[in-house]
Structure 1
């Protein structure tokens, strides 16, 4: 249940691409001539409003007691003018504009200010709806839920749109009515493993993010993009996302299973769901994992053993075989965690030590799925892909159970 729903303004509530110059000019002033021109521009275009005029009242009727507000980086004079013209007569419970806070988006201070003004205590019951990556970052920093609304996106999305998707918001919506569904229960919209852990229904489908990862230029000149499929998010202990980590069920599940030899059934189900939906076109699929490093417990190998038992009990459409030791690390490989390797060092470490232990098991007619638990740089899965294709594999798929979300302000 959501107590407060905050909307971004520009290109979430109102299409405003052509208003950029006048928006910039309104910073720290309320020039009446400029605001009159702004009113005329907004009213002249009947298609600016993204939500129907009565939709906000529909929300209030469906969810009595919910608070509706706006959190925007735009100046106050501009914000009030655009809202009045686009949604005349609607009384917002709170509006947080650029001048109201020392740090606006991508920081979450505006969310906290809105909560303070309305007396709302629980961030997990606050939803921010926006259209770009700065909205996702602000919500993560504040500790609240976030949905990316694609209704205003151009046919060819811009960089801030792709970055928003790669940050894996709680929900991605493209239609007005989905807001009502989301406010009723956000769990069906979650990435699939998180949905399973939180007990959400499958009515919104099985969501896996396809994210692009690259080898740093300092390691290789090759700029090839490697696609890693991700089943959920693991929020790190970084200060930028510490509030969001507190309510992250998957982050807690990963932490609780660091030393496990038996894993939650939801982890197994998430892998099965992926195989069932992504690899059904192949007659045979080989599933393997990123191998353990010398001196460490074979955790993922045990996960694969559990998956094999599940597949034996309840087979999927394609013929699936689990091979825990298809890949291995050579002696001398370093630990990413204990040695605090840099990004470049992580890639070099995997590059120089990961190898295919059983090349005789590779068949170019079979699909190979490689599983890792938490994906940070993507180095392990990238080099797994490279080593397997070098050994003759034609169809290699990469799956991470959780995408590491850490210093969101380090993202482009």
Structure 2
């Protein structure tokens, strides 16, 4: 049989396509692809049916092109087909036209069965040597996010899951749930699609976003395309970003832990948003461990700044992210500042050099003090701190 019987006019395909999309978007549907016709026109024995749990079902619509695409609103559990054409003896003997074909497909409990083949014997005209086959996928190819994965600030990675096959999935998104924008990007089964906020949305957008894919089972035609289920996410502002390097106030004494590090961020906190600030200290080269942590709310975020206090000498980094008071969910993954170093001066040490008096009771002696360590300039005292001088030389001393 010539395969041209399997084709219909393009305008019919387009009409069917637009009719399909109005109701296939919302409900669960199943797409069956087969090379077996539902009508008996070439044999004397014929049996053909789809069943769902022992009950015969019929497609809600179908499209005929290179193959037959049948759309069901309930999952078929079985497809049975058998066809037999006896020999024709009108050719002064056998004409060689006897053939038989069959397929008994029991669909699995999964969302798809990529390909189930039957058998074909005898004269190959009706199938042109192609074995009867059937495949099935659900349009529920997008996995809804969980309560802990339904929020992002910069990008989200999506994929059409659950099967393997030649289908292509064309990604669409919407910010209002009704008007969708085609990204003009398609993926195969289980291939990642990265939705980058900076590419598709205004920089300051926050709110709901919805995704669906147009499932294209056969790229050579258009009438088989239907939309998938819809999944939704929440776009939230990314955490404020650190501007420049922190302003460090170092320890002034060797044994103190009063240093501070002040960080400036690029925006204020939004309503209901707060910081989780965690300070990490280097324990071995390149390895950091917890030092302290605290929440910072808008009232504490004066001038878009945060100051870490009471820092002892060491190398630190600040790990930060914003969360929301309504559910404590984060808008993005934690981010780390560049490492910064807190120092303290070395302990003060000193030595003295003395010059003894030349004669008894003469004020010709002196003491020179050499001091090291500490910070800043030195003051010197020879009377237990009662008086001080800036020079390190005590002269005019008598013996004593």
TM range (shorter): under 0.3
Structure having the higher Rg: 2
From the two aligned structures, give the one with the greater strand fraction.
Answer: 2
Which structure ranks higher in relative contact order (CA pairs < 8 Å, sequence separation ≥ 6)?
1
State the TM-score, normalized to the length of structure 1.
Answer: 0.25
